[in-house]
């Protein structure tokens, strides 16, 4: 192989790795666990689309780090107060997904904080 081809190949590989690291940093999801409280607000959508209901979720990740997030419902569905929720959060897009989980699916450090908040 020619020297120029090898250098080009190395540059392409380095750029691909750097791009992958940046993408994971900005768009990679961190999962936060919390419990649904009261609805904070709602927005009626135009053109007959379903209403979006918003909830403030105090969530903790598997390491016990806290994040306060506003989560909007999809499809006009309301959350059920007291249910456990797992929220996918990224630096670039904030809340990207959510789902209901069972208590036994929540990491211990996160569950400890959720229980402390509930006892306040």
pTM of the model: 0.76
So what's the pLDDT on residue 25?
Answer: 62
Does any domain span residue 22?
no
pLDDT at 99 over 90: yes
Domain that holds residue 76: 29-118
State how far the alpha carbon of 13 is from the alpha carbons of 3, 5, 23, 24, in Å. Answer: 16, 12, 15, 17
CATH code, 48: 2.40.50.480
Distance CA 62, CA 29 (A): 13
Give the model's confidence band at 9: pLDDT under 50 very low, under 70 low, under 90 confident, else very high.
confident
Does any domain span residue 14?
no
Question: Burial of 37 by CB count in 10 Å (0-12 exposed, 13-18 middle, 19+ buried)?
Answer: middle
Q: What are phi and psi of 47, to 5 degrees?
A: 60, 35
Among 27, 33, 10, CA closest to 93: 27
pLDDT at 42 over 80: yes
């Amino acid at each position: 192989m020619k020297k120029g081809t090898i250098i080009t190949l190395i540059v392409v590989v380095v750029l691909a790795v750097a791009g992958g690291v940046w993408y994971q940093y900005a768009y990679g999801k961190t999962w936060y666990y919390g419990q649904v409280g009261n609805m904070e607000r709602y927005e009626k959508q135009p053109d007959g689309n379903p209403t979006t209901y918003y909830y403030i979720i105090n969530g903790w990740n598997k390491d016990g780090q806290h994040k306060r997030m506003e989560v909007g419902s999809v499809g006009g569905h309301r959350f059920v107060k007291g249910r456990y929720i797992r929220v996918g959060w990224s630096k670039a897009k904030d809340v990207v997904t959510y789902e209901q989980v069972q208590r036994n699916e929540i990491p211990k450090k996160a569950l400890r904080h959720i229980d402390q908040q509930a006892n306040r």
